[in-house]
Structures are given as structure tokens and as C-alpha cells.
Amino acid sequence: MIALVAADGIISRFLIEHGLAREGNPLLVSWITRDAFMFIKPAGALLAALVLYDVHRRHPRLSLVVTLCATVFYAGLVWWSLLIFFANQI
């Protein structure tokens, strides 16, 4: 999950800086082009993973479902971003 969030950040920043895409999250629009973004995004994912690990001790099934949903969501975002990249290369 953390690797997918980091990959999403890297690909998104690349696409936005090269004018191939726009940031869809209004909370990240002003942050995406800043250098701090590449530290904040993975740090947030790490924090979320640590919280899920803590929740796992008391509610293992819940943490598994949330982790799976987040992983599928970010995998979809990474694939979407890669499709945008490759579509612009043709």
C-alpha cells in the first residue's frame, strides 16, 4: 500500500509538471508541485499503515478489509496514471 501511494505521487507529479494531467484532489492541488509533497504523501501512507497495524490487533478483519480496499484503490490510480502517460506517448 505504501509503495503504491508513493508511486501514485511520483507519477502524478510527473504528469502534472509536464501538463499531461490535472490533480483531482482539491486538497493536494497547491501541494503537488512543492518538494514537500514527495515527503508528505508517503509519510501519510506510512502513518495510515501504522494505524491499520494498531487496529489489526483488536479488529484484524476490519484492518484487512480497509487495507485491501486502499491497496486496490491506489493500484487503480497508478494504472490510470500510467494509461494517461502511455496514451500521451503515442
Say what the pLDDT of residue 81 is.
92
Phi, psi of 63, deg, nearest 5: -65, -35
Which cell numbers in the block locate residue 41? Answer: 504523501
Tell me the per-residue pLDDT of 40-79, one tens digit each, with 9 for 90 and over: 888 999 999 999 999 999 999 999 999 999 999 999 999 9
Which cell numbers in the block locate residue 71? Answer: 491497496
Query: What is the CB-side half-sphere exposure of residue 65 using CA atoms within 13 A?
Result: 4
Say what the pLDDT of residue 22 is.
87
**Is residue 90's pLDDT more than 80?**
no
Tell me the per-residue pLDDT of 23-38, one tens digit each, with 9 for 90 and over: 888 888 888 878 888 8
The DSSP line for 42-89 is HHHHHHHHHHHHHHHHH-HHHHHHHHHHHHHHHHHHHHHHHHHHHHHH
Say what the pLDDT of residue 32 is.
81
Say what the pLDDT of residue 26 is.
85
